[in-house]
Amino acid sequence: MRPIDFLLRAARRHADKVAVSGPEGSISYAELVEQVQALAAVLQHRVPAEDGRIAICAGNHIAHVVALFATLLAGRIWVPLNPRAGQAELRRIIEFTEAALVIAEDDQATKVADAGAPLMRYRPGGGQDDLSQAIERHRGRMPDAVYPALARTQAIKFTGGTTGLPKGVMQSLRSWNACIVSIMHAMRLDEHVRYLAVASITHGTSTFLLPVLGCGGTVLLPASTRPRDVLDQLERERVTSVFMPPTLIYGLLEDETVRRRDWSALRHFVYAAAPMRSDKILEAQEVFGPVETGYGQTEAPAIIAYMPAEEARDLRNLASVGRPALMTDVAIMDAQGRVLPPGEHGEVVVRGDLVMTGYWKQPDKTAESFHGDWLRTGDGGVLDERGYLYLRDRIRDMIITGGFNVYPTDVEDALGAHPAVYDCAVLGLEDDKWGEAVHGAVQLHAGAQVSEAELIAWVRARLDPVKTPKHVHFFDSLPRTANAKVSKKDVRQQILQRMQEAST
């Protein structure tokens, strides 16, 4: 069974029901599948190679959902492109994956045009655009049936880059199936679910689309992600399920109307993608009720572990991300590769169908990420005697800010390219709003002058807003280790000391 078969099966059972609804209107299961089939036939013609990559750069629109599902039905490989990313980053991914076709909404088209791949544009709401016209011309046409081996790649999702190549996670059809079934099981989804897709389709929302639609539920797309607008839609649309990062939840909790609203329809108020402070979890439980969380990463998508609402109310579980999901084995491993008993701290490792097959064109990175058949997550943690997983720290330097992964080297490359900067370091510091905030530390060339605002604007022009430092700190000389490398430990300590002194 292919991942797309979850949608096709549900459409036969719920043909006239609304499948997806958004600012552009609503679409039934039957109409959704008809459009997906028509576009899949087009994509098979435009991208004849069965391992062809189709990159999509768009916001949360019905046309984006159709394009994604058509890529799956055509038997091609989906490459999501974050619409918030800068032009250089998007083009790097397109070139690196050798995408055979790029689909983009009008507002994003200029960033991906002339990137070495043909472009198909669409206008949210439809009209005289490439996508709409292709669907209408081929309406009623069926694509060739393609049933790839389950080990074959379904998607290549990028988690960040280093000083060299970007890091593309190859997720197989088997991985997607495991993800879909795990979410269905953990959230006990059925045809009554009304899921608000606040997170971007290129990120967290993509993992929820097929579980929700596979059960006959309805996906609701937001007109806005401003806190007041999200609250209005959650209440007005009688949303039962939603996933969002803690930063957005903090904004919802600060809204003056949040405690006067009717949240009786909510069944799954899920936070994930970043840690959430204990006091905010308790506050969210008080306001919204069924607060849940999960733990996953692109290399093992969506839910490695899950915490349902009834278990989350146990104060012993406040700092936990839940117990292992249905189809995934989780353990704690020491540096020597030994699986540790309950209560001992080490690296979280994962195995099972959920796990990626590797990194695109980076066999060395793939080998580093596995110990036998165990995926090394890079996260530190502990399993208690009841089987609940607690994340203690991150072994890698990755920063998680607002639910997005940021690799310091990406930001250091951009920041260090400024003519005034001699050397720099980037790190994450605890932040009430973002979970972690990106901070830069710079040492300027002798005699050079530049302001914090200028450096922030410099990075923002080259990377997406998530990767842009919230603050840049100036050092006469960056602290270094004995082998002349910048000591991030000492940089962190000095920044924290400065911040403490400034607050007193």
Q: How high is the pLDDT of residue 391?
A: 87
State what percent of residues in the chain have pLDDT above 70. 97
| pLDDT score recorded for residue 393 | 57
Which pair of tokens denotes residue 406? 């940021």
CA angle 311/381/364 to nearest 5° reads: 130
pLDDT score recorded for residue 504: 81
104, 124, 148 - which closes a domain = 148
CA-CA distance, 434 to 381, in Å (whole number)?
Answer: 21
**266 lies in some domain:** no
Most confident of 161-165, 243-247, 375-379: 375-379
Quote the pTM value. 0.82
Domain presence at residue 261:
no
In a domain, 275, yes or no: no
pLDDT tens profile 203-215: 889 999 999 999 9
The b/e string for 247-264 (b: 16+ C-beta within 10 A; e otherwise) is bbbbbbbebeebeeeebe
Q: Give the whole-angstrom CA distance, residue 156 versus residue 298.
A: 10
Structural domain count, the chain: 2
Q: Is residue 9 part of a domain?
A: no
What's the confidence (pLDDT) of residue 331? 98
CB distance 217 to 197 below 8 Å: no
pLDDT at 17 over 90: yes
Task: Indicate which CATH number applies to the domain containing 493.
Answer: 3.30.300.30
What confidence score (pLDDT) does residue 216 get? 98
Instruction: Assign 493 to helix, strand or coil.
Output: helix
Q: Check whether 159 has a pLDDT greater than 90.
A: no
Whether residue 458 lies inside any domain: the answer is yes
Within its chain, how far is the Cα of 64 from the centroid? 16
pLDDT tens digits for range 458-499? 999 999 899 999 999 999 999 976 445 678 889 999 999 999
CA distance linking residue 165 with residue 125, whole number of Å: 36
- Predicted confidence at residue 278, as pLDDT, reads 80
DSSP 397: -
Phi, psi of 349 (to 5 degrees): -125, 150
CA 29 to chain centre: 26
Domain boundary among 82, 115, 148: 148
410 part of a folded domain: yes
Average pLDDT, the chain: 93
In a domain, 210, yes or no: no
Domain, as residue range, for 122: 27-148
User: Would you state the pLDDT for residue 485?
Assistant: 66
Select from 89, 119, 148 the last residue of a domain: 148
Binned at pLDDT 50, 70 and 90, residue 398 comes out as confident
Q: pLDDT, tens digit, for every residue of 35-79?
A: 999 999 999 999 999 999 999 999 999 999 999 999 999 999 999
pLDDT band per the 50, 70, 90 thresholds, residue 394: low
Stretch 406-430: mean pLDDT: 88
Gap between the Cα atoms of 64 and 61, Å rounded:
5
Sheet holding 471-475, edge to edge: 421-431, 435-444, 471-475
pLDDT at residue 409 tops 90: no
Residue 494: which residues within 8 A CB-CB, separation 6 or more? 475, 479
Q: Is the pLDDT of residue 277 over 80?
A: no
Say if 153 falls within a structural domain: no
More confident residue, 277 or 20: 20
Supply the CATH number for residue 92's domain: 3.40.50.980
